[in-house]
Amino acid sequence: MVAIDETECTGCDLCIPFCPFEALLPMAENPRDKGKRPLIVVETNCVGCLSCISSCPTGALFEVEIPADAIISPLIHPTQQPAVEVVERFKRGGLGWPLPKQR
């Protein structure tokens, strides 16, 4: 799985389109006094593909290894997570994929 170091996350949103599973989403409420709200990893969506890992300019994304002998998967028993914003990916004007536009 992947996690975000919240202190390093500027809320720039650059990583969002790099996740094919929409697991990187902004917090619905900003816990900070100033600056943009950070993102969280939605545990139930993250499959640990690491497609996002090098997309963060501040290095806030990091891999969390799940021990091979882990009995309970966080996908089955996710921790309580704060509410997140909906980010439109695939409608007109949405973020889409982080690939150069063809034509």
Residue selected from 15, 27, 40, 84 as contacting ligand SF4 according to rule CB under 6 A: 15
Picking from 33, 98, 49, the residue whose alpha carbon sits closest to that of residue 41 is 49
Query: DSSP code of 51?
Result: T
- Are 39 and 13 in contact by the 8 Å Cβ rule? The answer is yes
* Identity of the residue, 22 or 103, whose beta carbon is nearer to ligand SF4 in the bound complex: 22
String of contacts with ligand SF4 for each residue 43-72, x by CB under 6 A: ---xxxxxxx--xx-x-xx-----------
CB of residue 32 to ligand SF4, shortest distance in Å: 12
Asked if 98 is part of the footprint of ligand SF4 (rule: CB under 6 A), the reply reads no
- Are 15 and 52 in contact by the 8 Å Cβ rule? The answer is yes
d(CA 82, CA 28): 8
Positions that interact with ligand SF4 (CB under 6 A): 2, 4, 9-15, 18-19, 21, 23-24, 39, 41, 46-52, 55-56, 58, 60-61
